[in-house]
């Protein structure tokens, strides 16, 4: 039976004053998260793993609800803060799509999280609101927001109309805002920025028109640009030979709309890049189209590329590689290696040496994937041209949502397993004639046609094989998009937390996939759960729709 949270949600609407000045020690960012969750991934590794064990396999079944915070903006009227970003009428303060996709930060007893054009601070003990900031954007659209970055007493987030905004963490008042991109080019910004040393790493999204992607570093104090890495090369640079001409290359996509990961010892940032543009018209951009649909390592101080690995050469199905690059140390052929693993939207898993990009393992993790002929000597998939769009239609898997999407997987160093939700859907892609010269994706359409379902998989990084699989009942003929059910969290308490697409939060035994606890929600989980210690108690926090939930063990 699903738990009712109506009364608790109403109680948490009260606004309370800030209890204390909040400062984040920058040293915390490079450490395993314990009494804070200071950055999007918890730490720089992208593992979404916690060393906490107060909540464990033996007692997780006794978890109980502490509080529920509900945004419910339509019932709240005016909100404080905010800036009109352009000389256009601002939108009313609504929560786009009615969901939180943001991974909250928790620092010194305060939770910070976002929705498109909104930021909040609430008391982590009680769920009571401290402040709420609204960016009065004239834009809006089908985008989410993954969250904020924090440095000392400053917060940073991106808006729907492509501004970077810095707030005072104590008051929610704006410090400054800087334009990232021009929305007239159909750019969007959804990424949670990441603080690396004295750099704020900022990404950009949008692939509705033929535009170019990039990743940039901003100064933490002023917001000014320090460096900018373009995700397609300049004429004469390495990689330019993989494009048919300069114009196409300079409008070739490669968006960077996911938070990066970082190795402090190597001083390398790891970013996954998006699909090439025009998305489905490979005939307009012959070649591999570097550095789109790739894992790229950049020097954090200069933005210079150290190495790359392309996950989808000449992608023609919107299978970008913007999933989380997970960093871990492991054994390969009995020798210790510094590894990076990425489960791509295209249904393929890649393991590379993160020091130099050397290929270690390539493996198909979605059985339904039918677009590739296998892998080449470099471990890259070999596209099957017969699976491009055709006049009579071509049956393709994964579907447009991908086998993976933005919700992060989790890697447990104790089990050596990567856990992720896998969607195995099919789509029929059609091509058709257009009058005059084709522009962008004109000449293409597609329709989803069911699939093999959605499941939670535990993948061994050494082999790429699944140790166990938990199918989600009811998804067999219409697998949900893998961007609708949030990310995953594993802990040293030997517990794996994942949202169920039917509207439950579930705890699993990470060794076997056995369900050990669940709680009914008002809808499916929509963000990535976090955990932290606060006053000697371990908390579990996650979102479903416009509600944020806090659980802990009973006293």
With cut-offs at 50, 70 and 90, classify the pLDDT of residue 78.
very low
Candidate from 269-273, 377-381, 419-423, 447-451 with smallest mean pLDDT: 447-451
Is the pLDDT score of 9 beyond 60? no
**Angstrom distance (rounded) from CA 543 to CA 103:** 9
Q: Bigger pLDDT: 345 or 87? A: 345
In this structure, is the dihedral angle defined by the CA atoms of residues 302, 306, 310 and 311, taken in order, positive or negative? negative
Write the pLDDT tens digit of every residue in 118-127.
Answer: 999 999 999 9
Average pLDDT, integer, range 413-438 = 91
pLDDT score for 31? 87
Q: 244: closest CA among 272, 213, 204, 281? A: 281
Measured in degrees and rounded to the nearest 5, phi and psi for residue 249 equal -60, -40
Are the C-beta atoms of residues 309 and 357 closer than 8 Å to each other? yes
Write the pLDDT tens digit of every residue in 205-252.
Answer: 986 667 899 999 999 999 999 999 999 999 999 999 999 999 999 999
Is the pLDDT score of 169 beyond 80? yes
Candidate from 11-15, 369-373, 458-462, 491-495 with smallest mean pLDDT: 11-15
pLDDT score for 105? 98
Is the pLDDT score of 366 beyond 60? yes
Write the pLDDT tens digit of every residue in 226-238.
Answer: 999 999 999 999 9
With cut-offs at 50, 70 and 90, classify the pLDDT of residue 21.
low
**Angstrom distance (rounded) from CA 104 to CA 147:** 7
Average pLDDT, integer, range 86-106 = 68
**Angstrom distance (rounded) from CA 273 to CA 203:** 10
The set of residues, in sequence order, having a beta carbon less than 8 Å from that of 358 and lying 6+ positions away, is 352
pLDDT score for 258? 95
pLDDT score for 371? 97
With cut-offs at 50, 70 and 90, classify the pLDDT of residue 84.
very low
Candidate from 83-92, 466-475, 521-530 with smallest mean pLDDT: 83-92
> What is the percent of the chain where pLDDT is above 70?
89
Write the pLDDT tens digit of every residue in 128-163.
Answer: 999 999 988 766 555 789 999 999 999 999 998 899
Is the pLDDT score of 483 beyond 70? yes
3-state secondary structure of 533: strand
Is the pLDDT score of 428 beyond 50? yes
Write the pLDDT tens digit of every residue in 302-317.
Answer: 999 999 999 999 999 9
pLDDT score for 77? 37
pLDDT score for 8? 36
Number of H helices, E strands in the chain: 2, 36
Pairing of strands 489-491, 49-50: parallel
Q: Which helix (H) or strand (E) is 68 found in, with range?
A: strand 64-70
**Angstrom distance (rounded) from CA 121 to CA 123:** 7
Is the pLDDT score of 11 beyond 80? no
Candidate from 5-9, 20-24, 70-74, 414-418 with smallest mean pLDDT: 5-9
**Angstrom distance (rounded) from CA 446 to CA 94:** 31
Are the C-beta atoms of residues 66 and 127 closer than 8 Å to each other? yes
pLDDT score for 501? 92
Which residue carries 């991974």 as its tokens? 103
Maximum pairwise Cα distance, the chain: 71
Write the pLDDT tens digit of every residue in 314-341.
Answer: 999 999 999 999 999 999 999 999 999 9
With cut-offs at 50, 70 and 90, classify the pLDDT of residue 32.
confident
Write the pLDDT tens digit of every residue in 63-74.
Answer: 999 999 998 664
Domains of the chain (ranges plus CATH)?
6-552 (2.140.10.10)
**Angstrom distance (rounded) from CA 54 to CA 466:** 28
Which residue numbers are catalytic?
318
Peptide bond between residue 278 and the one before it cis (omega within 30 degrees of 0)? yes
Burial class (CB in 10 A: 0-12, 13-18, 19+), 526: buried
> What is the percent of the chain where pLDDT is above 90?
77
Average pLDDT, integer, range 263-288 = 95
CB atoms within 10 A of CB 266: 17
């Amino acid at each position: 039976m699903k738990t009712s949270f109506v009364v608790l949600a109403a109680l948490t609407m009260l606004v309370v004053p800030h209890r204390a000045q909040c400062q984040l020690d920058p040293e915390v960012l490079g450490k395993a998260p314990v009494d804070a969750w200071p950055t999007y991934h918890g730490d720089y590794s992208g593992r979404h793993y916690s060393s906490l064990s107060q909540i464990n396999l033996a007692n997780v079944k006794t978890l109980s609800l502490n509080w529920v915070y509900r945004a419910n903006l339509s019932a709240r009227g005016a909100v404080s803060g905010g800036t009109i970003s352009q000389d256009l009428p601002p939108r009313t303060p609504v929560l786009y799509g009615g969901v939180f996709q943001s991974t909250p930060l928790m620092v010194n007893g305060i939770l910070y999280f976002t929705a498109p054009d909104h930021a909040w601070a609430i008391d982590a003990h009680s769920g009571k609101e401290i402040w709420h900031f609204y960016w009065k954007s004239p834009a809006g659209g089908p985008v989410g927001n993954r969250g904020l970055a924090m440095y000392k007493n400053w917060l940073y987030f991106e808006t729907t109309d492509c501004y970077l905004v810095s707030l005072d963490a104590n008051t929610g008042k704006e410090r400054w805002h800087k334009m990232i991109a021009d929305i007239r080019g159909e750019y969007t910004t959804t990424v949670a920025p990441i603080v690396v040393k004295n750099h704020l790493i900022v990404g950009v999204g949008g692939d509705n028109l033929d535009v170019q992607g990039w990743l940039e570093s901003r100064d933490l104090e002023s917001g000014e640009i320090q460096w900018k890495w373009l995700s397609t090369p300049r004429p004469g640079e390495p990689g330019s030979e993989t494009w048919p001409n300069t114009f196409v290359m300079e409008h070739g996509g490669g968006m960077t709309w996911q938070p990066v990961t970082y190795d402090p010892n190597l001083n390398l940032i790891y970013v996954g890049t998006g699909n090439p543009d025009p998305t489905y018209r490979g005939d307009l951009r012959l070649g591999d189209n570097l550095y789109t649909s790739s894992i790229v390592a950049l020097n954090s101080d200069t933005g210079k590329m150290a190495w790359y690995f392309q996950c989808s050469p000449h992608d023609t199905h919107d299978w970008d590689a913007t999933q989380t690059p997970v960093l871990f140390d492991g054994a390969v052929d009995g020798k210790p290696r510094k590894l990076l693993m990425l489960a791509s939207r295209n249904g393929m898993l890649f393991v590379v040496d993160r020091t130099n990009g050397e290929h270690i393992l390539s493996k198909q993790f979605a059985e339904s994937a039918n677009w590739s002929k296998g892998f080449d000597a470099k471990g890259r998939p070999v596209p099957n041209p017969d699976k491009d769009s055709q006049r009579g239609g071509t049956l393709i898997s994964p579907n447009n949502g991908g086998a993976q999407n933005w919700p992060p997987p989790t890697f447990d160093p104790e089990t050596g397993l990567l856990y992720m939700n896998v969607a195995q859907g099919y789509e029929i892609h059609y091509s058709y004639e257009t009058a005059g010269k084709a522009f962008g994706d004109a000449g293409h359409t597609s329709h989803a046609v069911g699939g093999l379902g959605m499941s939670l998989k535990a993948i061994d990084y050494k082999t790429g094989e699944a140790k166990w699989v938990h199918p989600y009942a009811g998804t067999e003929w219409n697998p949900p998009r893998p961007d609708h059910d949030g990310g995953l969290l594993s802990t040293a308490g030997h517990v794996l937390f994942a949202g169920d697409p039917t509207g439950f939060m579930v705890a699993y035994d990470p060794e076997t996939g056995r369900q050990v606890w669940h709680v009914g929600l008002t809808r499916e989980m929509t963000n990535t759960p976090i955990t932290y210690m606060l006053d000697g108690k371990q908390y579990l926090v996650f979102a479903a729709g416009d509600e944020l939930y806090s659980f802990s063990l009973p006293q």
